[in-house]
Amino acid sequence: MYSFVLNKWFSDIKVLPVSEQILRSDYMTWYWHKSYKPNMNVFYDINKPDMKYMFNKEVECLYLKD
């Protein structure tokens, strides 16, 4: 339902596609729901492009560069 609403009425907004790597960096932290415990499950590989779908198009998410 959420993606339908975005695609139907908000397809003109600008969204910055970021990789999960950024959510687990020193800049941001991903926590378990209703807790202060960081979620350390990692599902990314910085050696491969992180491709996701946004607004019915496949886009490459950004990584932090070392």
pLDDT in tens, 17-61: 888 888 777 788 888 999 999 888 877 788 888 898 888 889 999
Which residues have a Cβ under 8 Å from the Cβ of 57 and sit 6 or more positions away? none
Beta bridge partners of 60: 51
Total structural domains in the chain? 1
Residue 43 within a domain? yes
Length of the chain: 66
Residue 54 within a domain? yes
Residue 66 within a domain? no
At residue 1 the predicted structure's pLDDT band, cuts being 50, 70 and 90, is: low
Residue range(s) defining the domain that contains residue 51: 2-61
